[in-house]
Each structure stands twice: as C-alpha cells, then as structure tokens.
Chain A
C-alpha cells in the first residue's frame, strides 16, 4: 500500500498563514501554509465544511487553540485541528486529512494506491 504523490501547485502559490484550494480527481482540498519555514507547516484537509455544507474551508482563518494549529470555518467559525481534521467544538465532525509534502518547489498531495 504505497502513497501516490501528485503535484498540485508551487510553493510560491501558497500564502503564508492562509489557505488555497486544490482540485484533485474532482476532490476539493484546502491547503494551508502556517509560518514562514519553507517546507514545514503545510497542511491539507477536505475543503468541505460538514456543518455549513459548502466548499469553503480554505477561506478560513488560521490560528491556534492551546498547542493545536486550527482553521476556523468562515461560515460558522467552528475550529478544525489541521493535524487530525477533528472539529474542536463537535468531535463527531471531522475533515479528512491528506498527506502533503514539498518536493523542490512543488507542493504534493498523497493518495493511496490501495
């Protein structure tokens, strides 16, 4: 079961402490860049807000709650832990988390080959 990596954008397409949205096989994925380190602090989660039922997560504000790095949904402001995808306010809501890495100047998202 190996991971297949897909180039989705360049590192300079990311906006520091903010999000962009990539389309991968019809799936919308929100990619966030936290902090200024060149290849750290990149997170990829589902773009679909399960509460607001709209594809908007990438337009949320990044922040921290305790030591968790979170994004606040722009619609109803609930927070998702970017590392686990879990919603802080209602743990039964969850965003899928995607493996993400930087290769050279490319940002890559991983999907499973099953």
Chain B
C-alpha cells in the first residue's frame, strides 16, 4: 500500500449496492481516506437484490445496507437526494441538481442502471410502472390496491420476480414477452418451455412472441394492450421489466468514452477514459460487456479500491451463472447454456410428469463442461458449476451428472463404501461426488469444503458424516488429516481431554492461554465446556463456563426455530405419577405451551419464552421434577417397556432397571447425546438395540448391547456381554461411557466412535471387560465422581439470583419480546409463518400467555 500517493478526497456518485461496497472496502483498506458519498436516491444504499422482500414485509430499514450513523462513524461524508448533473473534469468538481459543488481528487461513478421502458404509445401514464427502487415498490403497492389484473412486460429474471410480487398481491397476473420463450438470456428453448408450463400451473398467464403496439383505454379494465397482429389483453396496471440500461448520462454529457450501445468504458482497473475517474457496477462497460449482477460489481469495486491504494487486484470478467427460485420454481443456468461454442454437444433429460428439465453442454471431446440449464430441480447446480468453473474432467458418461440416480443398494458403513451419488447433505443436496469434486479442485480443509459445497450449513445433521467422507478422501490422496478441533486449538478432542485432565485445567481461558490462540469459537467452546463438565462436573452456568455453552445449554432448554424454548422434565424410565402429569398439564395450559409426547417416553412443552423459563421450572421443581437435559449433549432418556412387574412375558423388572440407570447417568456430559433403553424380555419392546447402550433382560440376568442408534443412519447395536448380574452390568456401562467420553471426537456418536477405533468391537471388549489398558478402575472412579456431584441445573439456576438474571429478555426493559408470534392449529399454538405474521389474522398474542 503506497499511502503516500493516495488521493486525499474521493467522491462517489451513486450509493447503490456497488457504490456502498466500494465505500466499505476503501474504508477498510484505508480508514483515513476522505470519502464523500452522493446518493441520488432519498436514502443510502439498500439491498436491491432482495428488493422483492419488501412485499413480504421487509421494511426499508431492514433492507438498508448501511446507516447514516455507520457512515458517520467511518468519517464518511454523505448526502441523499444529491443527484449529480455536472462534472468539471478540468477543475475536478461535481455539481448536484440543487447546486451543491464537491471537488474531488478521484471520482467514482457508481450510478448503476435504470429500467428500459419500450417507447410504446401510452406507456407514460399512471399505473404504468417500473421495478427498481423502494419508491417504485411503494408505487406498485399503491397501484395494486386499485387493480384486479396486472401485466408484467418482459419475461426475464426480474420480470418473473415482479410477476411473483403481483401474484402475491392477489392480482390476476400476466407476463408478456417479446421473445418466443421466457428467460431467453439464461435458458435454452426446452428450459424456457418447461418454465412456462410450470409458471402457468401456478396461475400466471404467459404470453410469448407478443409485441405491444399501443396501450389504450380498456373496456373491462383500466387499459387495453394491443399487440401486433390483432391480439390484445386488458389490464389495470402494467409493470415494465424489459431490461436495464446503464446510467451513463454523466459520461455522455461530459465526454467520457462510452460503448456503442451505452455503458461507461473501463479498463481492468475500472478506470474510465479520464485517469481520475473510475466507473463500477452496472453503469460500467468492460470488454463490451455490462454485468447485470451484483457480484461482478463488487469485484469491480475491489479492483478500483486496489488501484487507488496502489494494489494490483484487477477486474478480469466474471462468471454469470445463476441459480434462483422464480415463483417457487428452481432455475439454474451455467456458462454456455445455449451451446454456442463451436463443436459443443449437449445432453438433455426431461421429465414432463415431474416438470424437470436438465441439459448439460460439453466440449467437442466431452472432456469439460461448458454450460448447463436446470429447470424444476437445480440440485445438481453446485456440482455442475464446480465442473465448469474448474474444468474438472468429466466422467466417462457425462449424462450421469443429470440422470436420476439408479443406485439401489443401501450404503454400508464407512465413507469409502458410499457411492458417489450418495447424498451427504440433504439440506443443500450435496453428494459425496460433489465433495470429491471440491477436493479435486484443490480445497482440502474442512471449513473450506463446507463453504464451497454448503454441505452441513443447513440443519448441520450431517457434520459427522461429512467429516468422515472428507477425511477418508484426503487420506486417499495422501494429505495428512489434521484432527484439530478448530483453528484455535491444534489438538483433537481426545488430546484436549488429556491436556485438561493431566494439567488440572479448570477453565476455558486457562486452556486457551496455554494451548490455544484467538478467542475460541462455537466449536471449541462447547466441546471444552463438555470436557470440563465431564471431568470436574461444576455447575455449567458458573461464571467461568457460561460463555462456553451453546444457547441450549446456557438457557437450559432447546431453542426452536422462532427463538423460543422447549421444556422437557425428566421422567426416568418413562414413569410418571398422576400428580406429575396434572402439574405438567396445568403449566402447559396456563402458559399456553404446545404439548407433545416424545419418542423418549416423556413430555415436551414448546413455545416458552426465555424469560418464562425460570418461573416454569420453579413450578416443575416444586412438583418434584428435575431437568431432563434434553438440551444437552448428555444422557437423554432410558426408555423401557413395562417389564415383569405387569407384563405376562417379562422376565426382569425393566422399568426398575431403567430408572436406576437413568438416575445414575443423568446429567453426564458427552461428545454427543446418549440414549439408552431397557427391555424386559427378548421381545424387545423398548427397542434397546437402537440405542448407544441397550439392555435386554434374560432368564439369567441382562444382555448388554452397545453402539446402536436411530436417526439419519440407523444402526443396530452389537451384543457386548451376556447374562450379566446388575452390579457387573453397571460396572461395564460406567467404563463404557467414560471411555467414550474420553476418547471420542466432538459430535461423534458411539457407533462412529467404535468404527474408528482400531480393532473395533473386539478392542472395545478388551478394554472394558478384560481391562487391557489397566484403566478400568480410573474410569469407574471418574464416573462415580460425576454421579456423586450431580445437581439439577435448573434447581441451581432458579435458586440463584445471578443465574436468573441471565433469563431477562432485555437488559433495559420489562417489555415482552413481540417478535414471537403464534397461531392456533389443532387446538394448540405453533409458530406463525412469515406470511401469517404479516397478515395479522388469528394471531395469538404471546404477551398474554404469562400468568405470573
């Protein structure tokens, strides 16, 4: 950075998305830069890409990308309604419409573009509108209120988004397109046809190959649009979305070079023909191209900043592939979707009953992917984009990339056994093949692979599986697999466990100071919190530990999608007294909580707000309940069948045994949740073989099963030992749990843990039953310590004023959180959807549910 020759005053004309990005980047790179922002709009930059969300209730404030305060705090001077209409290049001064002048050392034009309105006679009247700014949307909203029928002129990307807005506003909606198909820029003919069918199925009428010749007064509606030929359409309002034109008026008037069809000509540094003036974003023309997407604009902004501060980042064009959902239809377009490259060949898959169209375009030799079109199902988009962007060699039969998978065989254990078509992340439709492609393309760290593929960034349920696949693939390629838990500790969970135990470390801060770097994160903090808990078993909301816990642990409840919590009192073995049920019922009724019986034989109460939790728990505890640890990576439940006490077939008291073990291990923190069950006979009604630890009664005692699980990849437990007496049974389970807690990786359930132990089940038997490592006694002692120091966290929390303070919703107000909104369904509450929140109907006022 050569700050010595950094210009002292930089004026930015236009504060759209790109102009703002420029300001932000420049401020970050050079906080001392003197920046003046002149926004032609009445406000500062907002998120135009998500403009349509204004119709689903996003306010202008929520769309804002900056605020006057933020710019102030950066020392950026800013003016709104400051439309620049004069540049004096010699004096280096710009003037706004209202006559204000600003002198510059460097000028940046980020004036964006404006909607093109075809000069059809009659286009220029009320209720003929465009779709670009917040003011435009206010106008559309007002006009829609007085209209029944709406027409969008233009069937491109923006036109379809606009059509969606009209449809949502309840209008009979039409799209009129001049070309013979929709989205002619991105899609081929087949894709366009399918998209048209799908959109018409949704109730939007599409008229292609229609040129409007005039707009006149209508008979049944406000207007009548006459088309060439003798067709016409009646409508109350018209939205023009027929393309954009670069806002290059300043360049035209003040003699900067512009392209033949408009656009301010720039070089790789984003300089215009005047070396002191830059142009970026949609107003700029680079190698005769306008880039109508925000990402290339951002890249230009960074190139201009780089040039200003003496760096060498250049703008070198941009990929225009897009994936989006239009009117709920998935659409993807990659690269040369029209197969214009000489010699290009294509493969097409069309499934009319399901409304799916997929095409890939490959080069002459079928070596690389040139482009693709996806309509109706864009799940292959990420993979295809990887192929095309990185010129990854195509498989022998490229069509397999878009053909539905025919792999019937269920995948067996282990990452290697999975076929490439196996879906690893179902939220983002990432297959093992996608991950391999990403690794092949050069990404070899877990976080990088996550952010490339998006795998595991949705519900997160596949994290462990993803890690296995990645590790296995990397190992195959000879890359050393780091077991580092995260960037803050160069140790695995197991190593951290040993460090904590051997060095008697009691707090995260001490561990970080001695063995880590940075501040920690949401991966290492809860992991260390869990290790500290299972090693020393302090109260987890102790001052030193609070900040380590995941929100579920901090607030001792399971956070739901709307930010409320669910409450699960412990019911050991699924046994509950009538008084207990009545109390739970009363609480659920008084606080209007949604009530459901869980698979773990207990009751879950949903919809409690954070500030109600202590009050509710106080009542539960007074009634004899304890926390059920449903929020924790800890023992959840011990499920049981009714056993020999009542059942004709039972051979042992399974309920009694379940209650005994549940009370023994309750609160035990572990790398993942732990589940157990006890069945009273071999009929196995408690489904013990699907649990981490399962116990099945025999005539002679108890059989012990380990490492089963349900969930995403169900696995039957392995028989571990037979006909045990109760004492030996407990001893083995003590050892088993502690060994698991000590040596498993973060978020590794028992099955994966055992599969990754060299020697597997036999080794585990050796350690637990034969004490081959000589640690059995130590494991038991550690478990006994945890058992002896058990406390109900909720009891501790409600009794402690300081802890209770943590549950205040606002530090400065007793008001209720009015963002939590419920509606009624089947006689109970459920969270309102976004649409329901806006519509205001049947909303149950959450603020009146508190009876306290």
> Does B562 lie within 8 Å of A112, measured CB to CB?
no
Judged by a CB distance under 8 angstroms, whether A42 is at the interface is no
Judged by a CB distance under 8 angstroms, whether B819 is at the interface is yes
Q: Which residues of A contact B487 (CB under 8 A)?
A: 65-66
For chain B, give the interface size range. 35 or more
Main secondary structure of the interface of B (DSSP, over half): loop
A54-65: CB near B (< 8 Å → 1, else 0) gives 111001111111
**Complex formed: what's the CA distance from A37 to B73 in Å?**
22
Judged by a CB distance under 8 angstroms, whether B723 is at the interface is no
Judged by a CB distance under 8 angstroms, whether B518 is at the interface is yes
B451-478: CB near A (< 8 Å → 1, else 0) gives 1000001111000000000000000000
> Does B811 lie within 8 Å of A31, measured CB to CB?
yes
Q: How far is the CB of A98 from chain B (nearest CB, A)?
A: 7
Segment 499-528 of B: residues with Cβ below 8 Å from A: 518-522, 524-526
Q: Which residues of A contact B518 (CB under 8 A)?
A: 63-64, 66
> Does B834 lie within 8 Å of A53, measured CB to CB?
yes
Q: Which residues of A contact B73 (CB under 8 A)?
A: 3, 99, 110
Task: From the candidates B70, B521, B552, B554, name the one contacting A63 in the complex (CB within 8 A).
Answer: B521
A36-69: CB near B (< 8 Å → 1, else 0) gives 0000000000001000111110011111111001
> Does A22 lie within 8 Å of B522, measured CB to CB?
no
**Complex formed: what's the CA distance from A84 to B66 in Å?**
10
Q: Which residues of A contact B813 (CB under 8 A)?
A: 22-23
> Does B525 lie within 8 Å of A61, measured CB to CB?
yes
**Complex formed: what's the CA distance from A54 to B811 in Å?**
18
Segment 407-457 of B: residues with Cβ below 8 Å from A: 451, 457
Q: Which residues of A contact B552 (CB under 8 A)?
A: 74
Judged by a CB distance under 8 angstroms, whether A16 is at the interface is yes
Interface size on A, residues (CB 8 A): 52
B64-101: CB near A (< 8 Å → 1, else 0) gives 11011110110000000000000000000000000000
> Does A112 lie within 8 Å of B519, measured CB to CB?
no
> Does A96 lie within 8 Å of B547, measured CB to CB?
no
Task: From the candidates B457, B526, B810, name the one contacting A89 in the complex (CB within 8 A).
Answer: B457
Q: How far is the CB of A90 from chain B (nearest CB, A)?
A: 9
> Does B488 lie within 8 Å of A64, measured CB to CB?
yes
Q: How far is the CB of B441 from chain A (nearest CB, A)?
A: 19
> Does A3 lie within 8 Å of B520, measured CB to CB?
no
Segment 718-737 of B: residues with Cβ below 8 Å from A: none
Shortest Cβ distance from B564 into A: residue: A54
Q: 8 A–B contact pairs at CB < 8 A?
A: A3-B69, A59-B559, A61-B547, A63-B522, A64-B518, A77-B522, A92-B294, A112-B69
Chain A residues in contact with chain B, CB under 8 A?
1, 3, 8-9, 13, 15-18, 20-24, 28, 31, 34, 48, 52-56, 59-66, 69-70, 72, 74-79, 84, 89, 92, 94, 96-99, 110-112, 114
Given contacts A55-B819, A76-B458, 16 further A-B contacts (CB under 8 A): A8-B812, A13-B811, A15-B547, A15-B806, A21-B809, A48-B62, A55-B563, A60-B522, A61-B547, A63-B519, A64-B520, A69-B519, A92-B47, A92-B294, A99-B72, A112-B69
